[in-house]
Amino acid sequence: MKKSSIDKKTLAKVFHYVKRHMALILLSVLCALITTLLSLWIPLRIGHAIDCIVDQGNVDFTIIGKIIIEVLICIGGSALATWVMGVINNRVTYKIVRDIRNEAFLHIQKLPLSYTDTHAHGETVSRIISDVDTFADGLLIGFTQLFTGVLTLIGALIFMFLTDWKITIAVVVLTPLSLLIARFIATRTHRMFKAQSEMRARQTGHINEMLTEAKTVRAFDYGEEALTRFDEINKKLEDCSLRAIFFSSLVNPTTRFINSMIYAVVALFGAIFVLPEGLFGFGGGALTVGTLVAMLSYVNQYTKPFNEISGVMTEFSGALASGAKVFELMDEPTEIPDAEDAISLTEARGEVAFENVSFSYTEEKPLIEGVSLQVRDGERVAIVGPTGCGKTTLINLLMRFYDVRGGCITVDGTDIRQITRSSLRENYGMVLQDTWLKEGTVKENIAFARPDATMEEIVAAAKATHAHSFIKRLPQGYDTIIGENTGGLSQGERQLLCITRIMLSPPPMLILDEATSSIDTRTEQRIQRAFGKLMVGRTSFIVAHRLSTIREADIILVMKNGNIIEQGTHKELLALGGFYKELYESQFSHS
């Protein structure tokens, strides 16, 4: 029952996208109707031509010629309508695919970071790319064959009844067997296609992980283990795929066998009805040869949609399994929207306060508990402590990447939950340890936050961060194309570009999370001087492991196990002789 309800939910979502293009769908149905009527008219005319030859004993070329012209016109018209229908169905299918991908990508932008932090990126990519492609293939087959199949079935049934109702009843009684078998198999292959989709997502995620961390994989000689794991996933995918394809491939030969038996039965009884004397008391010239030929053709046309529809059911079952994965992603709850009365923060002064803040990523494992802090505008606040103590978590809370579970954080006296996320983040400039550069030129990457910046402003910002010299050495200077994984720049150079990006458009508040971790000591000293100028009059939060870089901070927060255990200036904390002094001396001790 549960699986059935999921299928209905998926079908409802599919219809939601299909009904947006109802005008094109109706036009496609009209083309299918034209194709069907013309295809059904052809056997009738051919049967008439045969009767003209058999009954008259000679060939009346005048009548035969007219019939041939009619048949050719019907064939041409049917082919044209089929082509138009194909064009329409392709357009509708890929419009739907475009809509789904657009909405899925938009939905990803609204998902909380807790989702992206806990789900493999490759799996998410697989849902938007591979699963949508599979869904599109099934949908296209459905549109192409379902309309013509259903209309042909109904039309052939009507023509058969008009030709001979007794044989038609026999056909109608026998043909549902093939559809019942197809439904039986398709229902059971649905879960197999779903398992195939899940294994494909795991495979994509593994490949993405290995490519993204290729250097680490080679440095730790993890290649054999990675290959073993890939083989394991690949073998499971092979098993799922073979099982799904094997059982789904049973549909066509099974239905064809049943339909061939039906054809044989009609041919046998039809031949008896054609015989002038009949057989066993049946027949006796009830049918003409031409009518029997037309009847056999209609039986073929009537049973053929059962083959097609059964194939469509199998394909559509796989498509629904892939579609369900995509819709599952799109059903993931988005981050809590801004409050209806949320204000827009224009030019923040930079007064930040933590008031008894508590937070944990999971309920079972508390991280930050009861943190309180007052930061005046323009102050430089350094956050230090061992790995996992909650430094980056504080930054995530400041930016509202996560919301506090207890207490509140205020900016200029306003709870940040009462401020729109976009305006809050516009007031922060952020440089992370992990750099990110988009595909584009150096100039475009620097001007990411200020696309209207002039070339002079971009160069000035680059000179301030000492990035100008290495940029000029690039093949096309500021017009050099770079990307996220470009091999032309060192990690330090990439980080300099990210720092330059902030220097170009300095906001009221700054967050520097290990911003100079990949830069050599000499360049770091220059950057620190540039940051010193940038931070004047701006509230700044600096996360650092190298304590030499934060000696000039107004406040140093020492964190341990999610709590602020010490705070003060560099000199005050050294004089205190506590945990900060231990950290500082451990970095400058010599063996």
DSSP collapsed to 3 states, 23-45: HHHHHHHHHHHHHHHHHHHHHHH
In a domain, residue 583? The reply is no
Q: How far apart are CA 448 and CA 451, in angstroms?
A: 6
Handedness of CA 96, 101, 104, 105 (dihedral sign): negative
In a domain, residue 266? The reply is yes
For residue 564 the two structure tokens come to: 């602020």
Q: Do 322 and 139 touch, CB atoms closer than 8 A?
A: no
In a domain, residue 426? The reply is no
CATH number at residue 183: 1.20.1560.10
Model pTM above 0.75:
no
Nearest of 273, 266, 268, 276 to residue 297 by alpha carbon: 266
In a domain, residue 222? The reply is yes
The yes-or-no verdict on residue 364 having pLDDT over 90 is no
Segment 326-353 mean pLDDT: 85
Q: How far apart are CA 489 and CA 470, in angstroms?
A: 9
> pLDDT tens-digit profile of 57-97?
566 777 888 888 988 999 999 899 989 988 988 888 888 88
pLDDT-above-70 percentage for the chain:
89
E strands, 448-548, in order: 481-482, 509-513, 539-543
For residue 492 the two structure tokens come to: 């330090």
Number of structural domains, the chain?
1
In a domain, residue 551? The reply is no
The yes-or-no verdict on residue 277 having pLDDT over 50 is yes
Nearest of 438, 437, 436, 416 to residue 426 by alpha carbon: 416
In a domain, residue 442? The reply is no
In a domain, residue 175? The reply is yes
How does residue 590 score in pLDDT terms, banded at 50, 70 and 90? very low
In a domain, residue 542? The reply is no
The yes-or-no verdict on residue 6 having pLDDT over 50 is no
For residue 383 the two structure tokens come to: 């956050």
Q: Which residue has the tokens 């923040």?
A: 348
Q: Which domain holds residue 45?
A: 13-330
pLDDT, mean over the chain: 80
